Structure 1
Amino acid sequence: MTKIGTLAALALLAATSVHAAVTSKDWGTGPDGKAVELYTVTDGDLTVTITNFGAHIVSIEAPDRAGKKADVVLGYKDLDGYLAEKKAYLGAVVGRYGNRIAKGVFTLDGKTYQIPTNNNGNALHGGTVGFDRKVWSSKTLADGVELTYVSADGEMGFPGTLTAHVKYTLEGRSLHIEYSATTDKDTVLNLTNHSYFNLGGEGSGDILGEKIMINADRYTPVDAGLIPTGKLPSVKGTPFDFLKPTAIGARIEANDEQLKIAGGYDHNFVLNGGKELHVAAKVEDPKSGRTLTVTTTEPGVQFYSGNFLDGSATGVGGKPYVKHDGFCLETQHFPDSPNHPAFPSTELKPGQVMRSTTIFTFGVAK
């Protein structure tokens, strides 16, 4: 074997010999008396912590261009913070239906269902007690953790006993989130993760200077209740055109009705891509050099610029989280899809398996 071939072989061996390390510890007790665990997954220079309470991502530590690590998601220092959480959903898996359903009402198989409303007369993230408030069962994997929650028929008004799985695994600087679910009755389902990112580090200030690219030619404008109107206009010539990297704050104060309604960005973008993994967004923090690339099998992504962070939540670093201190990229089916037949369907039937994958990859700009 040549010297070059030997070096290549050694490099391949090194790359394939590194495996994630997983540890766990008791983290308290949930509201239902069930034990809550905190899992720490490390692979190379990325460390992720996850809890089985609400399947929350608690922290993600990633290096900057100088190799200095910082937590790049918003979160609380202990379980008490998550138990007291009222409206921010920091790092949670939200469901049974992530995002909004107008008036909490939808019709399926000719029957009308009512979900408890909790957001200006609409149902948000599954109603008053969503998946983010539940203690999930957990299983440690070689490279992460698998969480499972069984939602009873009729829970929050949704039909069918639903068994949902969320698998978090770490591969180098990529956090993989794999969702799957089955049901025993026709139902609707839209699972996503609600992490808030700040690539400068949580508590470091606002995210308005971070540059974002969203791989979407169209988006779903909303009414005064943040419910999609059903239209799918082009982003061209609007403040919603992020096809080229643009600072989040560059146009956030523009004289635009949609921005005024949401107090910034809180909109679903129609991704360019099919059902296979495709790039949803890329973000770069010019100061730290940290980057985030989001790939997904989902048809949409909710870009939220942290408009409703109001200082009521105090983060792990001891600083209150205020407006624009973090951004979300919630890969998803579209909001209120059960009431918009032209949107990609969120229906799940017995015998089917809902599967979805999203990958968060962290890097450093050259």
Structure 2
Amino acid sequence: MPIMLDNLPFGFTNDGERATLHVLKSPTVEVDVSDYGATVVGIRCLDKFSRMDDVISGFSGVHGYERHSKQIGSVVEHGCSEQNGRSSDNSIGKKIWKSETNGTRSVTFKYVRRDDEDGQKGNVNLFVKYKLQGSQLQVQHMATTDRDTTINMTNKLYFNLSGHTLWSDLKHHLVTLYSNSYIDSYGETRSVENTVFDLRKPTFLSNDRIVGIQPTQEKPNGRSFCLSPSEHKKLVARIKHVSNGRIVTIETSQPFVSLDCASDFDLVEGKNGVKYNRHSCVAVTPQNHPPCSEKIDAPQRVNLKAGDSFGHSTWYSFSHTL
């Protein structure tokens, strides 16, 4: 069965702009993406009982995304751990992007960030391409600029593999994070060995474990992990629901990743009337560099020179146990 593409209305913004939902479909996975913020709105996949359900948080129309400051599923350009996925009304995650479909296989969104927009230099062409092949979704972020500028693009997708029908906490989720080191609150690289951050073996996301991993005011960067600096595709994480068997495997070309278990969610009402509570979903977010303290010199975003291009990809593969 070929991959199908549907285009559906997604409401109007407060400024009267029309938002559109593009739906990519394969026999095993369906992905909803909107031109509002180039946002991943929904991902439906099968479990071991052949039940299809939506496994990421989001909203049923554009007004839900306008109301909330958190950039749930949309493109995040700033240091996403530092910002915790929040955005201003002027951020690229709150804009209508131009869309272009490539047959039924992919959707590409484009937004031109003008010079001095949101305090950034240069006229920057931003591109996000969503491509569904079988059970794998590839998200490709690209950019070019006419002036030296800085950029860091990613999407923050909050998963709960229970699905919206049975949405609950994360206690049935096993996470494996393939990282040997993390960034501490002083911007130093530390080994995960013998720490709460060692997730190299499958680990249940109990509330106690989440509280230990999540950043605090004293440890704002405790959830940022280091990957290989290579720009080649590499394994990042594997999340498994032990009851229904759903699995998402995440790979990326980015050198860092953040882990966020929605510690600041407070009964956010999302799709199908489901309320997203604290610790009810998890985001594993690849990025170029985690936000850091003044003691570390590495940039929070990519330095992009005029005439050069920025490009990274992340792959989400969906499967289930038998």
The one-letter code sitting in structure 1 at the alignment partner of 2:279 is H
Contact 2:72 2:85 in 1 (8 A): no
> Residues 265-324 of structure 1, C-alpha deviation per residue, up to 9 Å, x if partnerless?
97211014621000010110001100010000000111101101111x201121221101
Unpaired runs of 5+ in structure 1?
Answer: 1-17, 102-118, 223-228
| Aligned partners of 1:266 and 1:304 also within 8 Å | no
* Structure 2 counterpart SS, 1:132: helix
User: Please, which runs of 5 or more residues in structure 2 have no aligned partner?
Assistant: none
One-letter amino acid of the structure 1 residue matched with residue 291 of structure 2: D
1:152 aligns with 2:110: no
Q: Which runs of 4+ in 1 moved over 6 A?
A: 262-266
Contact preservation (8 Å) 1:217, 1:272: no
How do residues 268-307 of structure 1 correspond to structure 2 at under 5 angstroms?
268-272=224-228, 274-307=230-263
The number of equivalent residue pairs is 319
- In 1, the alpha carbon distance for the partners of 2:190 and 2:91 equals 31
State the Cα deviation string for residues 61-97 of structure 1 (Å, max 9, x = none): 100001101100011122221121223x2111111x2
CA distance in 2, matches of 1:220, 1:44: 40
Kindly indicate whether the alpha-carbon contact (under 8 Å) linking 1:252 and 1:265 is maintained by their aligned counterparts in 2: no
Going from structure 1 to structure 2, the CA distance change for 1:211 and 1:276 (only over 3 Å counts) comes to same
Shift of 1:100: 5.3
Q: What code does the residue aligned with 2:142 have? A: S
1:199 corresponds to which residue? 161
3-state SS, counterpart of residue 139 of structure 2? strand
- In the alignment, the residues of structure 1 paired with residue 291 and residue 221 of structure 2 have an alpha-carbon distance, to the nearest angstrom, of 18
Are residues 20 and 264 of structure 1, via their aligned partners in 2, closer, same or farther at CA, if it must alter by over 3 Å? farther
CA contact (8 A) 1:297 1:356 kept: yes
What residue in structure 2 maps to residue 319 of structure 1?
A: 274
Q: 1:344 to 1:159 in 2, by over 3 A?
A: closer
Kindly tell me: are residues 46 and 265 of structure 1, through their superposed partners in 2, closer, same or farther at Cα, counting changes over 3 Å? farther
> What's the secondary structure of 2:65's corresponding residue?
helix
The match for 1:68 among 51, 54, 62 is 51
Question: % of aligned pairs identical?
Answer: 27
Answer with 352-361 or 73-82: which moved more.
73-82
**Partner SS, residue 83 of structure 1:** helix
Aligned equivalents of 1:149 and 1:175: distance in 2?
Answer: 21
Q: CA separation in 1, counterparts of 2:65 and 2:91?
A: 13
* Corresponding position of 2:191: 234
Distance 1:68 1:318, change over 3 A: same
Cα distance in 2 for residues equivalent to 1:67 and 1:221? 42
Tell me the equivalent position of 1:220: 183
Aligned-partner residue type, residue 321 of structure 2: A
Q: Distance in 2 between matches of 1:347 and 1:159?
A: 11
Return the alpha-carbon distance in structure 2 between the equivalents of residues 334 and 279 of structure 1.
17
**1:136-157 CA-partner distances (Å, limit 9, x unpaired):** 0101122121000111111111
**2: CA distance, partners of 1:154 / 1:338:** 25
Contact 1:217–1:236, Cα closer than 8 Å, also in 2:
yes
Provide the rounded CA distance (Å) in 1 between the counterparts of 2:2 and 2:160.
27
2: CA distance, partners of 1:130 / 1:67: 39
After TM superposition, the structure 1 = structure 2 runs for residues 260-275 of structure 1, keeping only pairs within 5 Å, are: 260-261=216-217, 267-272=223-228, 274-275=230-231
Cα displacement (A) at 1:28: 2.3
Q: Secondary structure at the match of 1:317?
A: helix
SS at match of 2:191: coil
**Cα separation, 2, equivalents of 1:257 and 1:61:** 28
Report the AA paired with residue 212 of structure 1.
V
Task: Using structure 1 for the length normalisation, give the TM-score.
Answer: 0.81
